[in-house]
Amino acid sequence: MKSKSNKIFIRKIFSEWYQKNYSKLILPPEFEKREFGFFTFKEGVVIRHKRFTNLKELLDFIKENTPSDIYYSAAYYENPEAEMEYKGWLGADLVFDIDADHVESPCDRKHDFWICKNCKRQGFGSHPRECPDCGESKFEEISWMCKVCLESAKDEAIKLVDVLVGDFSFSQEEIKVFFSGHRGYHLHIESKAVRELKQDERKEIVDYLMAVGLNPKFHGVNFQNIPSVGEAGWRGRMAMGAYQFLLEASESELKAIGIKGRTLKKIIDEKDAILEALSSGRKLIPKGIGLKTLIKIYSAGAKKQSIKIDPVVTVDIHRLIRLGGSLHGKTGLMKIEVPTESIESFNPFKNALAFKNGEIKVKTLYDLPELIFSDEIYGPFKANKITEVPTQVAVFFS
Contacts of 207 (CB under 8 A, 6+ apart): 213
99 part of the active site: yes
- The Cα–Cα gap between 345 and 311 comes to 27
Going by the DSSP 8-state scheme, the letter that residue 71 receives in this structure is E
Length of the chain: 398
Backbone φ, ψ for residue 268 (5° rounding)? -65, -40
Q: Which of 97, 101, 155, 162 is catalytic?
A: 97
CB 238 within 8 A of CB 227: yes
Q: Which of 310, 316, 367, 375 is catalytic?
A: 310
- The Cα–Cα gap between 34 and 68 comes to 19
Helices (H), the chain: 4-21, 55-65, 108-111, 147-166, 192-195, 199-209, 233-248, 251-256, 261-269, 271-280, 291-305, 311-315, 348-351, 391-397
Nearest-CA neighbor of 320 among 140, 87, 101? 87
CB 127 within 8 A of CB 138: no
133 part of the active site: no
Q: How many CB atoms lie within 10 A of CB 15?
A: 16
112 part of the active site: no
Q: Which of 99, 155, 167, 367 is catalytic?
A: 99
Q: How many CB atoms lie within 10 A of CB 25?
A: 18
Backbone φ, ψ for residue 50 (5° rounding)? -95, 145
Where in the sequence numbering do the catalytic residues fall? 97, 99, 310
